[in-house]
């Protein structure tokens, strides 16, 4: 009965950072929801207690279900049948456990079915899930896309799509194409507006995580004759309407439980999200900043798993008559691993708190004008989030690669064998510094 939250006191100390008081009070708008929802917090302590309880549930599911299934999922992986993705059995069980525990759409407002969690405790859940299985984090973590719908879609779209995510439907972000990877300005998937005003999508996307999801956010070229980012808009595609097939899934090195799909769009009906031409320059930039924070959390979770595996092995394995942890060279590797883990986690939560404050102010600004002080504060935190997001993602992913490398080193020859978890962690880590 492992609990990946309660067995890690570092998490609670990050959650109890002094800035959380401000974050919670802003997020809860003076706890107004308490009058409407019996599960809404009454005050700051009550809100913190509810994050703690939910994270305990996350920790339990991760320790008892997701981590237990990780090996089977890594071996079996998903498959494609009749152009649809079939998840590995363990992945289905993981998703069911998360749905039952209400862990989908966690950061969405209560009126749309969410838990109204700030980003900080939500990102902590992502850190914990990634320690259990980084591949599953990709599927579960794509609930992030609901943030983009919440920020930029109209009220009707929010009602129709976010509620479904909170009930457990999955999402994907369909950006990359064979000729448009880092250079998303080159996206060519074509969006055509019909006479009745509706849109259809035609073309190919590749490397799409969970590409057979229920609800897709799609970057497509809506302005005929354009070649750069200003001709791109963002669309919502609903799988219930049909029109998108999975041509294949990639045979990958790591995160094998997470299906990476090539998608073919054939007259796929879709809805414009937000305004035309702002797809890349505004909405995808916001979407990617959320994804970067998610990958930073994924990196920290993998680092945590690698450090724990290495520590246990070093205490257990004896050479020259004593546990190898007693050799200074091994102890030094472990202490550097721990320093990298702690540093990347500190960056992650510093960043999450900055994101929380400026995003909550952005949301409040839709309800009432911000005061001058609030505007200044929102701007300052937005600048901090801009500086910290690439740091948390960049450093976190590099450190996680280094920590899984060192974890194998500490295991010696055994680390090179498929029998130990460190081998999977090493493969799973590699993608974090690429995507
Ligand atoms: C497992 C997996 C899951 C993914 N999931 C998704 C998803 O869900 N949705 C989605 O849309 N995409 C997804 N991707 C795509 C991913 O985001 C791209 O692979 C990534 O953006 C890089 O694009 P590329 O692979 O085409 O590499 P390229 O753009 O061809 O880059 C090749 C190399 O050149 C470097 N490079 C390129 N341009 C520059 C430059 N200007 N300056 C310096 N270096 C440069 C890159 O850093 C890289 O090292 C996924 C990819 C993988 C492998």
Are residue 336 and residue 372 in the same domain, yes or no?
yes
| In-domain check, residue 121 | yes
Name the residue with the closest Cα to ligand 1, atom 34. 182
Q: What is the CATH number of the domain that holds 205?
A: 2.40.110.10
3-state secondary structure of 92: helix
Helix or strand (DSSP H, E) at 312: helix 285-316
Q: Report the pLDDT value the prediction gives residue 358, as an integer from 0 to 100.
A: 96
Residue 255 CA, closest ligand 1 atom number = 1
Are residue 129 and residue 16 in the same domain, yes or no?
yes
3-state secondary structure of 131: helix
| In-domain check, residue 93 | yes
Name the residue with the closest Cα to ligand 1, atom 25. 181
Distance 61 CA to ligand 1 centre (A): 32
Q: Report the pLDDT value the prediction gives residue 164, as an integer from 0 to 100.
A: 98
10-residue averages of pLDDT along the chain (435 residues): 95 97 96 94 97 98 98 97 98 98 96 97 98 98 96 97 97 98 97 98 98 98 96 98 98 97 98 97 94 98 98 98 98 98 98 98 97 98 97 98 98 96 98 97
Are residue 228 and residue 351 in the same domain, yes or no?
no
DSSP state of 212: T
Residue 219 CA, closest ligand 1 atom number = 11
Distance 184 CA to ligand 1 centre (A): 10
Q: Which of 182, 212, 295 to mutate to test the pocket of ligand 1 (most atoms within 8 A of CB)?
A: 182
Residue written as token pair 């404050």: 357
Q: What is the CATH number of the domain that holds 312?
A: 1.20.140.10
Q: Report the pLDDT value the prediction gives residue 66, as an integer from 0 to 100.
A: 98
**Domain end point (choices 228, 244, 278):** 278
Q: Report the pLDDT value the prediction gives residue 333, as an integer from 0 to 100.
A: 98
Number of domains present in the structure of the chain: 2
Distance 434 CA to ligand 1 centre (A): 6
Name the residue with the closest Cα to ligand 1, atom 24. 181
Cβ atoms < 10 Å from Cβ of 15: 17
Name the residue with the closest Cα to ligand 1, atom 51. 207
* Residue-range definition of the domain harbouring residue 228: 171-278
Residue written as token pair 């609800």: 215
Cα separation, 180 vs 332, in Å, equals: 43
Q: Which of 77, 78, 170, 181 to mutate to test the pocket of ligand 1 (most atoms within 8 A of CB)?
A: 181
**Domain end point (choices 236, 262, 278):** 278
Q: Report the pLDDT value the prediction gives residue 1, as an integer from 0 to 100.
A: 78
Q: Report the pLDDT value the prediction gives residue 36, as an integer from 0 to 100.
A: 94
Cα separation, 299 vs 297, in Å, equals: 5
Q: Report the pLDDT value the prediction gives residue 259, as an integer from 0 to 100.
A: 98
Are residue 320 and residue 239 in the same domain, yes or no?
no
**Domain end point (choices 278, 298, 320):** 278
Task: Report the pocket of ligand 1 as residue ranges, CB < 6 Å.
Answer: 172-176, 181-182, 207-209, 252, 260, 431, 434-435
Are residue 243 and residue 345 in the same domain, yes or no?
no
Name the residue with the closest Cα to ligand 1, atom 46. 182
Buried/exposed 308-341: b ≥16 CB within 10 Å, e otherwise: bbbbebbeeeeeeeeebbeeeebeebbeebeebb
Are residue 301 and residue 339 in the same domain, yes or no?
yes
Quick one: tokens of 381? 């935190």
| In-domain check, residue 192 | yes
Distance 314 CA to ligand 1 centre (A): 36
Are residue 306 and residue 162 in the same domain, yes or no?
yes
């Amino acid at each position: 009965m492992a609990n990946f939250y309660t067995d890690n006191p570092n998490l609670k100390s990050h959650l109890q950072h002094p800035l959380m008081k401000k974050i919670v009070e802003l997020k809860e708008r003076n706890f107004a929801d308490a009058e409407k929802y019996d599960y809404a917090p009454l005050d700051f302590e009550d809100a913190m207690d509810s994050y703690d309880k939910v994270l305990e549930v996350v920790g339990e599911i991760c320790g008892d279900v997701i981590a237990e299934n990780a090996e089977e999922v890594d071996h079996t992986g998903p498959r494609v049948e009749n152009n649809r993705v079939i998840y590995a059995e363990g992945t289905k069980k993981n998703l069911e456990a998360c749905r039952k525990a209400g862990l989908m759409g966690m950061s969405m407002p209560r009126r749309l079915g969410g838990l109204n969690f700030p980003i900080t405790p939500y990102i902590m859940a992502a850190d914990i899930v990634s320690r259990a299985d980084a591949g599953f984090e990709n599927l579960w973590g794509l609930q992030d896309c609901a943030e983009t719908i919440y920020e930029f879609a109209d009220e009707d779209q929010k009602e129709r799509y976010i509620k479904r995510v909170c009930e457990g439907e999955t999402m994907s972000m369909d950006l990359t194409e064979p000729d448009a990877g880092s250079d998303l300005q080159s996206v060519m998937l074509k969006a055509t507006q019909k006479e009745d005003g509706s849109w259809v999508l035609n073309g190919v996307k590749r490397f799409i995580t969970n590409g057979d999801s229920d609800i897709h956010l799609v970057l497509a070229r809506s302005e005929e004759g354009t070649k750069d980012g200003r001709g791109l808009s963002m669309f919502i595609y609903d799988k219930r309407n049909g029109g998108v097939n999975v041509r294949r899934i990639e045979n990958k090195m790591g995160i094998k439980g997470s299906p990476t799909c090539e998608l073919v769009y054939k007259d796929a009906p879709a809805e414009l999200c937000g305004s035309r031409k702002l797809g890349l320059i505004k909405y995808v930039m916001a979407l990617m900043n959320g994804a970067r924070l998610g990958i930073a959390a994924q990196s920290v979770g993998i680092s945590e798993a690698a450090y724990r595996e290495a520590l246990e092995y070093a205490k257990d394995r004896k050479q020259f008559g004593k546990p190898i942890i007693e050799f200074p060279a091994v102890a030094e590797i472990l202490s550097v691993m721990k320093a990298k883990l702690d540093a990347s986690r500190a960056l992650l939560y510093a960043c999450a708190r900055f994101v929380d404050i400026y995003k909550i102010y952005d949301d409040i600004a839709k309800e009432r004008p911000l005061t001058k002080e609030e505007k200044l504060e929102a701007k300052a935190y937005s600048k901090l989030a801009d500086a910290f997001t690439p740091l948390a993602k960049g450093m976190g992913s590099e450190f996680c690669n280094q920590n899984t490398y060192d974890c194998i080193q500490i295991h010696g020859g055994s680390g090179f064998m498929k029998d130990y978890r460190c081998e999977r962690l090493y493969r799973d880590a590699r993608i974090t510094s690429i995507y």
